[in-house]
Amino acid sequence: MTAVQQHSSPEQATFGAGCFWGAEAAFRALPGVLDSRVGFARSATGTSEQIEVVQVDFDPAVITYSRLIEHFWTLHDPTSVDRQGADVGVKYRSAVFYNSAEQADLAAAAKQRLEDSGQLGKPVATVIVPLGEFELADEDQQRYLEKHGASSCSI
């Protein structure tokens, strides 16, 4: 008799870290990330601002939501308001869009730990908001860096 493998139900995380192409490539490289896609998100709080995001499907038995957030901090400057490098505007805002109260709590705790560490020298500007609407970017935007043999957003 063969053992039946137990798999966790995939979970989803959504992050805004400036250029969504770079974030998508960085998250896809993590063990436990099952899939990702780029698009635009709005908060469920009623604002009409769209933010470039990467939406990540992950196996929580392999990688935790907390680990994804820790990786998110390394992908961009979370102290920058509405700007990442040469990309300027609300759509490049640093944001964590949560799907549950647990994700909200984990994101808030991670943000507080980062602020308390003092390693950034400035307050963390990342907003933590409920995910409202997600709009998938066009197919030519998906896995853009991979398709173009690039390793960063400045191509």
108-117 pLDDT per residue, tens: 999 999 999 9
* Residue 134: CB atoms within 10 Å: 16
Q: Which residues are catalytic?
A: 19
17 neighbors 84 (Cβ within 8 angstroms):
yes
Band (pLDDT 50/70/90 cuts) for residue 146 is confident
Report the candidate in 30, 19, 45 with the shortest Cα–Cα distance to residue 137: 19
Residues above pLDDT 90, as percent of the chain: 65
Residue 125 CA to residue 118 CA, distance in Å, equals 14
Helix axes 65-74, 20-28, angle to 10 degrees: 130
pLDDT digits (tens, 9 = 90+) for 56-107: 999 999 999 999 999 999 999 999 988 887 888 888 999 999 999 999 999 9
What's the whole-number mean pLDDT along residues 109-128?
Answer: 94
Instruction: Determine the longest span between alpha carbons in the chain, in angstroms.
Output: 59
DSSP secondary structure code for residue 90 in this structure: G
Full set of structural domains in the chain with CATH: 11-137 (3.30.1060.10)
What's the whole-number mean pLDDT along residues 31-38?
Answer: 96
- Name the average pLDDT for the chain: 89
